[in-house]
Amino acid sequence: MNRSALCIRMLMYLASHSRVKIDELADFLDTKPRNIRAFKEELETAGYQIEHKTGRYGGYSLKESTFLPSLALSVEERKALEQAERFLKAHPEFAYGKEYTNAFIKIANQDRIDSQQNSFYKSDHRLPLSLFQQTHVKIIEEAIEQKKLVEIVYQGRKDSFPKTRTIEPYALINQREKNYVLAYDREKDDYRYFRFSDKRWLSCALLATHFLARDDVPYHKEVGEEEEALVTLAINRDSIRFFLEEYWGEEMQIVQETPSQLFYSFKTPSTRQLLNRIFAMRGSVHLVAPKELVDSFRAQLKELLCYNNKNDQIK
């Protein structure tokens, strides 16, 4: 990299940091520390005011009133920003996800890039893709970038045979070490996750038709996530303090009391997690309502358990 390019990179680095040590700048620019002092002199000759403080917490800093023109992002830098945005949308527990999205939009607008382009996130911790699946991933990536429809032949978990579907792909996402595409299914008129699988996903073709990107894509929704449900639990009084240590849902309130139990009502975000937590309480928490959910849990238990004789069956 030539001297002018190094000076510009040093200037941009100073502009994005409050105070930087010489060794840190040298490491960033992959040059020797003595060159940093020479770059500083050249930048000051060009009119930039760089302050230098000595001591343990010293270093170089660019005067705050300095105006800097914004430089265009490289293709790799754009992809890094976009991938980070999709990563944070897939992890709502990150405290500053909304603020990052706002910052990303500002950067995207300044750089005149489409904030929806190349909208994918793939974790490093995922099952390896077969060559067949890799072909499908490349098609989906191209469709996301160009906003083109894709025709797939796919057999869902509840389908008795493969079906042809037309989808609008929005993001490649990894959850629970499995690989999916989040897409709008035009047949179902809803968003769905389609898993990359040699068994389920039989074919994939990029269509010439473009689609208009929707603004309600549920990036935060997890694979298999259910709609929230209003439930009522009965908790043994001697286990209340253990029950309240856990997060169960929103709008929790006591709706009934007996000498031995308290009844709590709340909205649970996941009935699957609710069942796991009830099991973890070892008989001190009981699901009371709604009846449909009680019946569903009971049916699931009957299917999972094996009995040695008819007398052991749940009644």
The predicted structure's pLDDT at residue 71: 60
The predicted structure's pLDDT at residue 218: 79
Domain count, the chain: 4
101 and 158 co-located in one domain: no
Domain that holds residue 246: 229-304
The last residue of a domain, from among 181, 210, 239: 210
Cα distances from 159 to residues 154, 155, 156, 162, in angstroms, run 9, 6, 5, 7
For 138, other C-beta atoms within 10 Å of its C-beta total 12
H or E stretch including 281? none
- Convert the pLDDT of each residue in 55-93 to its tens digit: 777 788 877 655 555 566 676 777 777 777 777 766 777
Rounded mean pLDDT of the chain? 78
CA angle 307, 308, 310 (to 5 degrees): 75
Q: How far apart are CA 199 and CA 264, in angstroms?
A: 44
Please report, for the domain that includes residue 296, its CATH number: 3.30.70
Q: Which string of b and e fits 278-301 if b means at least 16 CB within 10 Å?
A: beebeebbebbbeeebeeeeeeee
Q: 139 is written with which tokens?
A: 């098609």
Q: How far apart are CA 97 and CA 86, in angstroms?
A: 10
Reply yes or no on whether the pLDDT at 13 is more than 90: no
Residue 98 is assigned to a structural domain of this protein: yes
Beta pairing class for 250-257 and 261-268: antiparallel
Q: At what angle do helices 33-45 and 22-29 cross, to 10 degrees?
A: 90
Residue 314 is assigned to a structural domain of this protein: no
137 and 187 co-located in one domain: yes
- Whether the upstream peptide bond of residue 290 has omega within 30° of 0, thus cis, is yes
Q: How far apart are CA 99 and CA 105, in angstroms?
A: 10
As a whole number of Å, the CA-based R_g of the chain is 28
Q: Comparing 186 with 311, which gets the higher pLDDT?
A: 186
φ, ψ at 232 (rounded to 5°): -130, 130
For 270, other C-beta atoms within 10 Å of its C-beta total 17
85 and 141 co-located in one domain: no
187 and 141 co-located in one domain: yes
Please give the model's pTM, rounded to 2 decimal places: 0.42
Residue (of 64, 73, 71, 83) closest to 17 by Cα position:
64
174 and 242 co-located in one domain: no
Please measure the distance between the N-terminal and C-terminal CA atoms of the chain and give it in whole angstroms: 77
Beta pairing class for 178-185 and 190-195: antiparallel
Residue 52 is assigned to a structural domain of this protein: yes
- Convert the pLDDT of each residue in 188-210 to its tens digit: 888 888 988 888 889 999 999 99
| Range from 116-125, 183-192, 256-265, 296-305 carrying the lowest mean pLDDT | 116-125
Q: How far apart are CA 290 and CA 267, in angstroms?
A: 11
253 and 286 co-located in one domain: yes
Reply yes or no on whether the pLDDT at 149 is more than 90: yes
- Convert the pLDDT of each residue in 260-302 to its tens digit: 999 999 888 777 778 888 888 888 888 888 888 888 888 777 7
> Cα 313 from chain centroid?
43
Please report, for the domain that includes residue 48, its CATH number: 1.10.10.10
Residue (of 254, 256, 255, 260) closest to 237 by Cα position:
260
Asked if 113 and 78 touch (Cβ cutoff 8 Å), the reply is: yes
Q: How far apart are CA 256 and CA 3, in angstroms?
A: 76
Residue 219 is assigned to a structural domain of this protein: no
